[in-house]
Structure 1
Amino acid sequence: MKLSIQLFLFLLLAFTSLAQVDLSSGKIEGQILTTDQQPAPFVNVQLKNTRIGVVTDESGRFSIATVKPGQYTLLATGVGFETLRETITVEAGQTTQAHFQIKTAVQQLQTVEITGRKETSYKNDYSFSATKTQVRSKTFHKPFRRLRKS
């Protein structure tokens, strides 16, 4: 009986502390659309100068949970899009809605030239061969001035 009361009080205390954590932080939810009102999928959404960030889903929606209250700069970047910077304010226990339009970026890629050849085999005009030989070393007891070829 005493053990069950202690367990009940412990669980009650644990759930109460978890509820307080949720009330001390905020949440950001939103959607990013292109200028022609199409969803912007797989765009990186980050709070500037933090390590907090997510990627939008196929419908351009995102959600960032457990954000400390304060003012943040939201950065949205993606391939084919210009970088979007918007200031948002997060309040404790509240969900901040963030709906933005991102502009598509027109970028010119460098020209890539691909050439091929008709031959299917590689012909090498050079050949090489290497061998390893072992030579017995000689010890000279007297200094010598000239070496003779024998």
Structure 2
Amino acid sequence: GGRRKTEARRARSALSLLSGAADVGKIFCHEEVITVLPGKRHITLKDFIDKAFREHNGTYTVVLKGSDIPKGEGIAGQRIIQVLHPQTLDRFGCHSVEDFEDVLERVIANARPAVSHWYRELKVPQCAAFSTVKKAYVERTSIVDEKKALDKETRRAWIALRWCLQH
């Protein structure tokens, strides 16, 4: 049973990262302590940081309310920005994004000596407010008038398809 990656194991690993345990480098690279959307997947701190800098200009965002998770799933699915599940904050004992940013700085400071020989520039990614990301996402997905958006032929096919779906 010790090989299973349970929530209790993820929580223990998060605490070890916070306390600067002796095996902090191993935990940083191999233990899944971050939960991301879409799909509530668990990834390592190393993978989270790498992806933030490789794909999203060193940024990420955090969904704070459960009611925002579906919107977070959509944003993450479009690969606009890396989206953390609120469970990640709970795991590290954080009550706000600011708490998590402080914890992330501390955890990275704890891990830096253990991984510096191969991870030269270990930096802290910046958190973008989910409310801002959500507003930008809404603006990019809007309902269009079918008469304006579709040419005659496509509109004819769309009307037939819509009729089939409705009846």
Instruction: Specify if TM > 0.5.
Output: no
TM value normalised by structure 2: 0.20
TM-score by length of 1: 0.21
- Which structure has more helix as a fraction of its residues? 2
Query: Rg larger in 1 or in 2?
Result: 1
Structure 1 or 2: more strand by fraction? 1
